[in-house]
C-alpha cells in the first residue's frame, strides 16, 4: 500500500507540474496575442503568469518591459528589463531601453553604464539606437547644467482639475478651459488599463475654472471606445483641429490622426480627417501659429530623424492644408519631439526626450535669433524625471502644463505655472477708441455719446462692457496674440460689430527696454442711424450669368447680413435685387426676383425668421446710372440692397 501510495503521490505531483507548465505556456501564448493586438496592459498580466510558472523567463520579462514602454510607462519597465538581461534575452535593444528606464528613475550613472555597454555591442555593425545612445550619453553629461539652473518658475498642481485618471493637454480659448481626460470613462483601454480619453470644456468666470460644469464637446467629438485628445483652435476661432485614434486594436497604436472641424452658422461641422495625415503613422499634438496659417504637429512618419518628429503644414487661400515639412534636425532628434506651442513673440515650446532631459519628456523652448535657433531646457521645477509636456500660456508669464510626476492626483495631472524671472519684461496692451456716427446730409463723422461698447471673442463670450459716455471714448485691456470683436449698441442705431486683433502686433521680448511697457492700440467704432426705407448696398453680391444660386463669394457677404440681423432683432427688412438695363425688361424683372428670393432663402436657412425679410426684385426699374455705357457702370446697377421697413423694439427687448 505504501508503494502504491508513493506511486500515486508522484503521479499527482507530475500531473500538477505538467498542468503548471501548460498554464504557463497558455499564458505565454495569450500574452503574445494580446501584445500583438496592442492590448499591452492585458499582455503584462499574461506574461506575469508565464514567469510564475517558469516559462520563457527571459522573453516574458522582456515582453513585460516592452509592454510598459509602449504604453508610456517606461519607469515601471526598469526591473523587467533588468531581469530579461540577467536571464540572457538576446535582443540588444533591451539594454538600450533599460538605460532609458534607469534615466527616468533618476539613476543617471547606471544609465550611462548601460548606454556604454549597448554601444560596445556595435563594433562593426550599426545598431538600431546607436545615434540615440550616443546622444543620450552626451545629454547625461550636460544634465548638471540643467539641474543647477536658476529657479524662477513656481508650479502648482491644480488639484481641483485633476482626478485619479488622466488630465492633460490644457488650452484656454475664448473664456473656456479645454483639456483631455479619461474621467467618467466606463470603458477600459486595454493598452494602458485606463479609461478612454475625451476632450472636455469648462467655462471660466472671473478667472476661475468651473470644473464642475466640464462637459465633452458633444457626440461628434466623443466616442466611448476611441481616444480623443490634444485640441487647438485657429486664432480667429473658426477652425478646430484635434487628435483622434487608438481604438485599442493592433493598428490602434499607430492610427492616431488629425481631424478638422469648422465653425459655421453657429455650430461646429462634423469632424473630417485631414489630408496631411500619413495613414500608416501616428499624427497628433497639433497647434496653430499665431496667424493661423501654419499648423504644427508631431508625427512618426517615415523620413524623420528618429522616433516622433515635429512637422509643419500650411493652408492655402482655398482653405486646403498641404506643404508638410519636417522642422529639421535642430528641433528634432533621434528621440521623440511632440506637443508644440507657439507664443505670440515667435517662441516654440515643445517636449522632447531626445534633447538633454532630466528623465522622460522635458519641456524646451526654441528661440530663433539672427537666423540661428537655440534650444533651452526649462529645468526644474517645470521638468522632472517623469513626463512633462503640453505647455500653454495664458499670458507672457502664466499658463499650464502636464506632468505624471510622483505626488500628483494620479496618472497625468495639469499644473499651473508662473515665471518670476526678473529679466522677463512684460507689456500691458490696451485698446482705446471713440464712437462716432455720420451726418445724413454731409456724411461728416461726429462723436456719438453714450454708446454701450463690448469687447468679445469672435463668435464667443463677452469679456467686458463699457459706456462711451459724454466724451464718446472707451478703453479695454487686451492680450497679445488674440482676436477680438468690438460691439457698439445704441437705441436708434444699427448694432455694429467690428473685428480687432493683436496677432502680429505685439512687441518682441528682445526689443523691450523697460520692465513694464504700456502699449495702446487705437480704433474707431462707427454706428449708423437706422433710417426707414433707406437703401444700403451689399457689396460683392455677384451671381453667375443668367443664374440665381448663391456663390461662395456671395455667401461670405450674406453671412455679414445674417450677423446684422442677429445683432439687430428689432428690425425687419426688404432685400432687393437689381439688374442692369441690358436684356428684356420682363426677363430682368423675373431674374431679379429669383435672385432676391434666393438670397432671402439663404438668410432663412441661416436661422433668420422669414417674417422679418421680404424678397423684392426690381429688375431695371431703379437704375443708379440710367444711361450706363461701360461694364463698370453696368456693374453699379447690378446690385443687391436691403432697407429697414419696420422697427419693433419689443422684439429687441425680448431677445435680451
How many other CB atoms are found less than 10 A from the CB of residue 151?
A: 12
What is the pLDDT at residue 504? 82
What is the pLDDT at residue 248? 46
The grid cell for 466 is 463699457
Share of the chain above pLDDT 90, in %: 49
Indicate where the chain has its CATH 3.30.1330.60 domain(s): 536-655
Q: Please write the tens of the pLDDT for every residue from 190-227.
A: 777 777 899 999 999 888 899 999 999 988 888 878 88
Region 511-525: what's the mean pLDDT? 90
What is the pLDDT at residue 186? 76
Lowest mean pLDDT among 266-280, 550-564, 614-628: 550-564
d(CA 507, CA 519) in angstroms, rounded, equals: 9
d(CA 578, CA 78) in angstroms, rounded, equals: 78
Q: Are 576 and 596 in contact (CB under 8 A)?
A: yes
Q: Is the pLDDT of residue 20 over 70?
A: no
d(CA 257, CA 244) in angstroms, rounded, equals: 6
d(CA 178, CA 200) in angstroms, rounded, equals: 6
Query: What integer best gives the mean pLDDT of the chain?
Result: 87
Q: Give the angle subtended at the CA of 366 by the CAs of 362 and 367, to the nearest 5°.
A: 150
Lowest mean pLDDT among 173-187, 437-451, 545-559: 545-559
d(CA 476, CA 473) in angstroms, rounded, equals: 11
Choose between 516 and 562: higher pLDDT.
562
Q: Are 366 and 350 in contact (CB under 8 A)?
A: yes
d(CA 297, CA 400) in angstroms, rounded, equals: 19
- pLDDT band with cut points at 50, 70 and 90 for residue 633: confident
Lowest mean pLDDT among 420-429, 431-440, 516-525, 588-597: 420-429
Architecture of domain 153-419: 6 Propeller (2.120)
Region 20-40: what's the mean pLDDT? 84
- Could you give the angle at which helices 57-70 and 40-52 cross, rounded to 10 degrees? 160
β-strand pairing of 362-369 with 348-352: antiparallel
Q: Are 655 and 588 in contact (CB under 8 A)?
A: no
What is the pLDDT at residue 48? 93
Architecture of domain 426-526: Sandwich (2.60)
CATH superfamily name and code, 536-655: OmpA-like domain (3.30.1330.60)
Q: Is the pLDDT of residue 106 over 80?
A: yes
Region 496-521: what's the mean pLDDT? 87
pTM of the model: 0.71
- pLDDT band with cut points at 50, 70 and 90 for residue 655: low
What is the pLDDT at residue 267? 86
What is the pLDDT at residue 359? 87
Region 57-83: what's the mean pLDDT? 92
The grid cell for 388 is 512633462
- pLDDT band with cut points at 50, 70 and 90 for residue 436: very high
Region 56-81: what's the mean pLDDT? 91
Q: Please write the tens of the pLDDT for every residue from 233-270.
A: 998 888 999 999 855 444 433 579 999 999 887 789 99
What is the pLDDT at residue 635? 78
DSSP 556-596: HHHHHHHHHHHH-TTEEEEEEEE--S-S-HHHHHHHHHHHH
Region 567-584: what's the mean pLDDT? 90
Region 486-511: what's the mean pLDDT? 89
What is the pLDDT at residue 515? 80
Q: Please write the tens of the pLDDT for every residue from 331-386.
A: 999 999 999 999 877 899 999 999 999 989 999 999 887 678 899 999 999 999 99
What is the pLDDT at residue 396? 83
DSSP 234-293: -TTS-EEEEEEE--SSGGGGT--EEEEEEEETTEEPPPEE-TTS-TTS-EEEEEE-TTSS
Indicate where the chain has its CATH 2.120.10.30 domain(s): 153-419
d(CA 199, CA 195) in angstroms, rounded, equals: 13
Choose between 582 and 288: higher pLDDT.
288
Share of the chain above pLDDT 70, in %: 92
Lowest mean pLDDT among 13-17, 100-104, 280-284, 489-493: 13-17
Q: Is the pLDDT of residue 427 over 70?
A: yes
Q: Please write the tens of the pLDDT for every residue from 294-308.
A: 999 999 999 999 889
Region 501-517: what's the mean pLDDT? 84
What is the pLDDT at residue 249? 47
Indicate where the chain has its CATH 2.60.40.10 domain(s): 426-526
What is the pLDDT at residue 542? 66
What is the pLDDT at residue 493? 93
Lowest mean pLDDT among 47-56, 129-138, 509-518: 509-518
What is the pLDDT at residue 123? 59
Amino acid at each position: 500500500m505504501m508503494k502504491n501510495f508513493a506511486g500515486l503521490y508522484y503521479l499527482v505531483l507530475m500531473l500538477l507540474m505538467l498542468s503548471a507548465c501548460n498554464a504557463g505556456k497558455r499564458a505565454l501564448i495569450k500574452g503574445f496575442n494580446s501584445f500583438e493586438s496592442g492590448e499591452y496592459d492585458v499582455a503584462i498580466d499574461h506574461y506575469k503568469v508565464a514567469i510564475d510558472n517558469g516559462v520563457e523567463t527571459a522573453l516574458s520579462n522582456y515582453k513585460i518591459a516592452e509592454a510598459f514602454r509602449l504604453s508610456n510607462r517606461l519607469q515601471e519597465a526598469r526591473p523587467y528589463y533588468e531581469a530579461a538581461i540577467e536571464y540572457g534575452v538576446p535582443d540588444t535593444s533591451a539594454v538600450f531601453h533599460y538605460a532609458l528606464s534607469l534615466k527616468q528613475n533618476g539613476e543617471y550613472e547606471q544609465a550611462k553604464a548601460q548606454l556604454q555597454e549597448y554601444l560596445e555591442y556595435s563594433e562593426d555593425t550599426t545598431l538600431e539606437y546607436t545615434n540615440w545612445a550616443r546622444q543620450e550619453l552626451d545629454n547625461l553629461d550636460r544634465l548638471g547644467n540643467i539641474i543647477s539652473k536658476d529657479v524662477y518658475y513656481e508650479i502648482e498642481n491644480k488639484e481641483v482639475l485633476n482626478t485619479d485618471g488622466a488630465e492633460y493637454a490644457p488650452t484656454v480659448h475664448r473664456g473656456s478651459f479645454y483639456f483631455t481626460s479619461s474621467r467618467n470613462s466606463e470603458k477600459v483601454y486595454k493598452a494602458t488599463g485606463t479609461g478612454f480619453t475625451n476632450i472636455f470644456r469648462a467655462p471660466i468666470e472671473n478667472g476661475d475654472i468651473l470644473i464642475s460644469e466640464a462637459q465633452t464637446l458633444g457626440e461628434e467629438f466623443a466616442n466611448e471606445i476611441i481616444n480623443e485628445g490634444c485640441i487647438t483652435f485657429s486664432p480667429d476661432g473658426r477652425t478646430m483641429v484635434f487628435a483622434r485614434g487608438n481604438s485599442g486594436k493592433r493598428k490602434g497604436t499607430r492610427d492616431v490622426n488629425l481631424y478638422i472641424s469648422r465653425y459655421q452658422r453657429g455650430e461646429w461641422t462634423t469632424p473630417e480627417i485631414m489630408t496631411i495625415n500619413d495613414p500608416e503613422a501616428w499624427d497628433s499634438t497639433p497647434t496653430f501659429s499665431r496667424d493661423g496659417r501654419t499648423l504644427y504637429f508631431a508625427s512618426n512618419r517615415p523620413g524623420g530623424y528618429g522616433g516622433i518628429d515635429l512637422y509643419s503644414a500650411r493652408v492655402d487661400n482655398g482653405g486646403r492644408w498641404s506643404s508638410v515639412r519636417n522642422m529639421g534636425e535642430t528641433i528634432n532628434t533621434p528621440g521623440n519631439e511632440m506637443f508644440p506651442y507657439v507664443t505670440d513673440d515667435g517662441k516654440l515650446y515643445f517636449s522632447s526626450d531626445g534633447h538633454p532631459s532630466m528623465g522622460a519628456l522635458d519641456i524646451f523652448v526654441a528661440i530663433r535669433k539672427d537666423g540661428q535657433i537655440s534650444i533651452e531646457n526649462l529645468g526644474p521645477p517645470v521638468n522632472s524625471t517623469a513626463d512633462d509636456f503640453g505647455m500653454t500660456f495664458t499670458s507672457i508669464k502664466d499658463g499650464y502644463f502636464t506632468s505624471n510626476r510622483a505626488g500628483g492626483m494620479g496618472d497625468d495631472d495639469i499644473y499651473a505655472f508662473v515665471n518670476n524671472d526678473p529679466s522677463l519684461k512684460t507689456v500691458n496692451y490696451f485698446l482705446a477708441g471713440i464712437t462716432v456716427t455720420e451726418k445724413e446730409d454731409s456724411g461728416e463723422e461726429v462723436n456719438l455719446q453714450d454708446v454701450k461698447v463690448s469687447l468679445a471673442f469672435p463668435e464667443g463670450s463677452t469679456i467686458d462692457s463699457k459706456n462711451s459716455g459724454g466724451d464718446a471714448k472707451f478703453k479695454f485691456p487686451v492680450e497679445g496674440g488674440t482676436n477680438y470683436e468690438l460691439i457698439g449698441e445704441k437705441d436708434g442705431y444699427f448694432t455694429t460689430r467690428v473685428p480687432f486683433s493683436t496677432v502680429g502686433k505685439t512687441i518682441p521680448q528682445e526689443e523691450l527696454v523697460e520692465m513694464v511697457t504700456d502699449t495702446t492700440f487705437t480704433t474707431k467704432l462707427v454706428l449708423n442711424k437706422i433710417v426707414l426705407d433707406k437703401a444700403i448696398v451689399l457689396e460683392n453680391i455677384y451671381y453667375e450669368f443668367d443664374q440665381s444660386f448663391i456663390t461662395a463669394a456671395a455667401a461670405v457677404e450674406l453671412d455679414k447680413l445674417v450677423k446684422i440681423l442677429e445683432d439687430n432683432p428689432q428690425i425687419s427688412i426688404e432685400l432687393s435685387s437689381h439688374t442692369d438695363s441690358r436684356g428684356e425688361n420682363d426677363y430682368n424683372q423675373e431674374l431679379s426676383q429669383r435672385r432676391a428670393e434666393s438670397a432671402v432663402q439663404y438668410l432663412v436657412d441661416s436661422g433668420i425668421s422669414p417674417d422679418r425679410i421680404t424678397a423684392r426684385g426690381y429688375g431695371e426699374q431703379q437704375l443708379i446710372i440710367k444711361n450706363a455705357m461701360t461694364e463698370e457702370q453696368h456693374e453699379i446697377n447690378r446690385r443687391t440692397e436691403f432697407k429697414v421697413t419696420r422697427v419693433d423694439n419689443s422684439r429687441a427687448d425680448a431677445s435680451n
